[in-house]
Chains A and B, each alone.
Chain A
Amino acid sequence: MANKAVATRDAYGEALLELGKRRLDIVVLDADLSGSTKTGKFGKVFPDRFFNIGVAEQDMIGMASGLSLTGKLPFASTFAVFETGRAWEQIRQTVCYSNLNVKLVATHSGITVGEDGASHQAVEDIALMRVLPNMTVIVPSDGYETTQVINAIADEYFGPVYVRLGRSKVPSVMPERYRFKIGKAHVFSMGKDANIIAAGIMVSMALEAAEILKKNGIDAGVINMSTIKPLDTKTLLKAAKSCRVLVTAEEHSIIGGLGSAVSEFLSEHYPVPVVKIGIRDEFGCSGSSEELLKFYGLTPDKIVKTIRKALK
Chain B
Amino acid sequence: MAKVSQTTVIELKEKAKELRKEILKMLTAAQSGHTGGSLSAADIVTALYFHKMRHNPKDPKWRERDRFILSKGHAAPLLYAALALSGYFSKSLMKTLRKLGSPLQGHPCSKTLPGIEISTGSLGQGLSIANGIAAGLKLDGLGSRVYCLLGDGEIQEGQVWEAAMTAAHYKLDNVCAFVDNNGLQIDGHCCEVMYIEPIVKKWEAFGWNVFDINGHDMAAIVNALNQAETVKGKPTMIVARTVKGKGISFFEGKVQYHGMAPTPEELKKALKELDENGK
Interface residues of A (CB under 8 A from B): 27, 48-49, 51, 53-54, 56, 58-59, 61-72, 74, 89-90, 93-94, 97-99
Mostly, the B contact residues are helix
| Across-interface contacts of B136 in A (CB, < 8 A) | 27, 66-67, 69-72
* Chain A to chain B contacts (Cβ below 8 Å), 24 pairs: A27-B136, A51-B170, A54-B165, A54-B169, A56-B162, A58-B124, A59-B159, A61-B128, A62-B163, A66-B118, A66-B128, A67-B133, A67-B136, A69-B132, A70-B132, A70-B137, A70-B139, A89-B122, A90-B125, A90-B159, A94-B118, A94-B119, A94-B125, A97-B119
Which of chain A's residues have a CB closer than 8 A to the CB of B111?
A: 97-99
The count of residues in chain B whose C-beta lies closer than 8 Å to any C-beta of chain A is 34
Query: Considering the chains assembled together, what is the distance between the CA atoms of A70 and B119 in angstroms?
Result: 15
From B124, B139, B158, give the contact of A27 (CB < 8 A). B139
Is B117 touching A63 in the complex (CB atoms < 8 A)? no
Check if B162 sits within 8 Å of A59, measured CB to CB. yes
B104 at the interface (CB under 8 A from A): no
Given A53-B166, A69-B133: A62 and B128 within 8 A (CB)? Answer: yes
Instruction: Answer whether A69 and B129 are a contact pair too, CB < 8 Å, given A51-B135, A99-B111.
Output: yes
Give the CA-CA distance A74 to B133 in the complex, in Å.
Answer: 12
- Are A98 and B119 also in contact (CB < 8 A) when A58-B159, A71-B136 are? yes
Q: Pick the contact of B118 from A58, A69, A71 — CB < 8 Å?
A: A69
A interface: dominant SS = helix
Q: Which residues of B contact A (CB under 8 A)?
A: 67, 109-111, 117-122, 124-137, 139-140, 158-159, 162-163, 165-166, 169-170
Closest to A25 in B: B139
The interface residues of chain B lying within 8 Å CB-to-CB of A61 are 128
Q: Smallest distance from the beta carbon of A276 to chain B beta carbons, Å?
A: 34
- B67 to chain A: which residues have CB within 8 Å? 69
Q: Are B159 and A70 in contact (CB under 8 A)?
A: no
Option from A27, A62, A89 in Cβ contact (under 8 Å) with B129: A62
Give the distance to chain A from B61, nearest Cβ to Cβ, in Å: 10
